[in-house]
Structure 1
Amino acid sequence: MRNRIKPPRLAPGDTVGITAPASQGDRSKIERAAGYLIRMGLNVRFGGTLSGQHGYLAGTDEERAAELNAMFADPDIRAIVCARGGYGSARIADMLDYERIRDSPKIFWGYSDITFLHTAIGNRSGLVTFHGPMLTCLAEEPVHPLTLQGFEQLFHPKPVVYTENISPLVALVEGEADGPLVGGNLSLLVSTLGTPYELDTRGRILFIEEIDEEPYRVDRMLNQLRQAGKLADASGILVCDFHNCEPNKYKNSLTLEQVIRHHIVQAGRPALAGFKIGHCSPNIAVPLGVEARMNTAQKKLEFIGPAVE
C-alpha cells in the first residue's frame, strides 16, 4: 500500500460530483436525496451516468470510467459521491487514471459494489476514500441522524470514534490491534483476489459487511479469504452488518453466527462484531486507509487522526 494521501476537506460552496460507476438508480430519487448535500451548503453536479443505461449498468464501461476520470480531473469538483452500487464497478477498474487520482486527491464516497473501487484506488493511488451511504440510501425515508452525521468528517478534520454508544459490540477474539482500515462488502473483497487490485490486509484492520447472502455463501467467501491468508494477515477484524443473510436454500443450515465465529475465531486476530457499517440504518461512514486502533476490552474503534487535510 502506498503512503496514504488525505484529500482536502470540504467547505460550504464546494461542488460535489454525483456519478454512477456501477448500476443505474432512480434519478428522481437521487436528485431528491441530493437535497441533503445542498442543505450542507454544497453545490451538486449530476453526471450523465445517472441517466445512462446499458443493461444492468449505468452506461457502458467506457462511459462510466470516462465520467469518473473526468470528475477526478475537474478542479471545480472537490468530492465525488456515488449514486448507487448494484454491480459493475470492477469492470472499470482497468480504465481509471490512478496517476491523475493520486495527483488530484479529492473525496471519493460510496460503499457496497463501490468496495472494488475503494480497494483499487487505495492500492494504486494511495488516496484515502470513504465507505459511506450513497444517494439511493439517503432517498429512503427516514434517514437516521447518525447516517447524515457521517458527512461531518468531510468538513472537519476530527477523528472518527465508534463505541457502544452507537451499537452493542461483541468481542469474538480478545485483544488490541492497530493499522490502516481496509475492507467493505465481503463478496466484492473476495472478487479482488487474483486481480491486480487484490485486497491487502497485512498489518491492517479488516472490516466486512454483506447483504442478501445465505450462510453457506458467507461461509464460502470467508473460507476463500482464510485460505488466501487475508484473515490471518490482518492485525484485527471488524464484523459489521450482515443484512438479510438468513438460510433459505438449505433447510438444515449453520447459522450466520456459527459461520462467522468459525472463520474469525480460527484466524486468531482480535475481533469485534456488531458495527452498524453497511446495508443498515444507521450506516456509519468510515475512512479507508486511515490509521485506526481497536480494543475489544474497551469495545472501541478509534481512528488515530482525521481523514481530510
Structure 2
Amino acid sequence: MRQRIKPRRLKKGDTIGITAPAGWGSTEKMLAAAAWLEGLGYRVKLGKTLTKRYGYLAGTDKERAEELNSMFADPFIQAILCARGGYGTARIAELLDYESIRRNPKLFWGYSDITFLHAAIAKYAGLVTFHGPMLLDLAKEDVHPLTLANFETWSVPMTFKYTEHVAPLTALAEGEAEGILTGGNLSLLVSTLGTAFELDTAGKLLLIEDIGEEPYRLDRMLNQLRLAGKFADASGIILGDFHDCDPPKEKDRESLSLAEVLADHVVSAGKPVLAGFRIGHCSPNIAVPLGVHARLNTYEKLLECSEPAIW
C-alpha cells in the first residue's frame, strides 16, 4: 500500500461528481437524490454513465473507467459519489490512473461493489476512501436520519466513533485491537484474491458485510479468506450487516446458521471480533472511513478512529 493521503473537507458550493462505475439504476430516482444534495448547498455534476447501458453495466468498461479518471483529474470536482453498486468495478480496476488519483486526492464514497475500487485505490494510490451509502440510497422511501446524517460529515474533519448508540453490538471474541481500517463487501473482498488488487489485512482491522447470501455461500467465501490468511493476519474483525443471509426456509433443507459459519472461520482466528455494526446493506447505513487508524474494543463495545479522515 502507498503512503496514505487524505481528501480535503467539502465547502458549501463545492461540486460533487456522480458516476456509475458498476451497474445502472433509475435515472428519475438519481435526479431526485441529486436534488437533495443540492439542497445541502453543493453543486452536482452528473456523469454520462448515469444514462448509459451495456447489459447490466452502466456503459462499457472503457466508458466507466474514463469517467472516473476524468472526475478525479477535474479540478472543479471536489468529491466523487458513486450512484450505485451492482457489478462491474473489478472490470475497470486495471484501467484507472492511480497516479492521477494520488495527485488529485478527493473524497470518494460508495459501498457494495465499490469495495473492489476501495481496495485498488488504497493499494495503488494510498487515498483514504469512504464505505458509505450511495446516491440511490438517498432515493429510497423513509431514508433513516442516521443515513442522511453521514453526508453532514463531508465538511467537518471529525473523528469517526461508533458505539451502541446506533444498535446493540455483540462480542463474538473478546479483546482489543488497533490498525488501519480496511475491507467492505465480503463477495468483493474474495474476488480480489489472486489478483494484483488483493486485499492486504496484515495488522489491520478488517470489516466485512454482505447481502442475500445463504450460509453455504458465506461458508465458501469465509473459508477462502481464512485459507488465504486474511483473518489470521488481521488485528481484529468488524462484522457489519449480513442482510437476508439466513438459512433457507424450506423444511427439507438443513443448513448451518450464520453464527455457526462465522464461528468456524472468523472467530476461530483468535482475534477480537465485534458484530452488529449497521454498516453495509442496511438501514441505517453508517459510513466508515477506510485507510485511517482505528481501535476496536469489545469490552467497551467501541470502534473509534484515532484521526480524522479528511482535513
- Which of the five TM-score ranges fits, normalised by the shorter chain? over 0.9
Alpha-carbon separation, structure 1, partners of 2:307 and 2:150: 15
Question: Is the 8 Å Cα contact of residues 146 and 283 (structure 1) preserved in structure 2?
Answer: yes
Shift of 1:36: 2.5
| Matched AA of 1:144 | H
Listed one character per residue, the Cα deviations across residues 46-91 of structure 1 (whole Å, up to 9, x for unaligned) are 0000000001100000000000000000000000000000000000
Listed one character per residue, the Cα deviations across residues 164-214 of structure 1 (whole Å, up to 9, x for unaligned) are 011100001111011110000000000000000000000100010000100
- Counterpart in 2 of 1:168? 168
Query: Secondary structure of the residue that 2:78 maps to in structure 1?
Result: strand
| Matched AA of 1:23 | G
Shift of 1:247: 2.1
Matches of residues 114-133 of structure 1 in structure 2 within 5 Å? Answer: 114-133=114-133
Question: Is the 8 Å Cα contact of residues 153 and 307 (structure 1) preserved in structure 2?
Answer: no
- Counterpart in 2 of 1:13? 13
Question: Is the 8 Å Cα contact of residues 177 and 295 (structure 1) preserved in structure 2?
Answer: yes
Verify: 1:83 aligned to 2:83, yes or no: yes
Alpha-carbon separation, structure 2, partners of 1:123 and 1:31: 33
Shift of 1:256: 0.8
Unaligned 5+ runs, structure 1: none
| Matched AA of 1:279 | H
Select which of 284, 301, 307 maps to 1:305: 307
Give aligned-pair identity as a percent. Answer: 65
Matches of residues 1-309 of structure 1 in structure 2 within 5 Å? Answer: 1-248=1-248, 251-309=253-311
Shift of 1:152: 2.3
Shift of 1:38: 1.1
| Matched AA of 1:241 | D
TM-score scaled to structure 2, two decimals? 0.98
Alpha-carbon separation, structure 2, partners of 1:201 and 1:2: 14
Q: Which moved more, 1:134-143 or 1:190-199?
A: 134-143
| Matched AA of 2:128 | V
Q: Runs of at least 4 residues of structure 1 off by over 4 A?
A: none
Shift of 1:35: 2.3
Matched pairs, number:
309
Listed one character per residue, the Cα deviations across residues 130-175 of structure 1 (whole Å, up to 9, x for unaligned) are 0000111111111111111112222100101000011100001111
Alpha-carbon separation, structure 1, partners of 2:170 and 2:36: 33
Alpha-carbon separation, structure 1, partners of 2:180 and 2:148: 24
TM-score scaled to structure 1, two decimals? 0.99
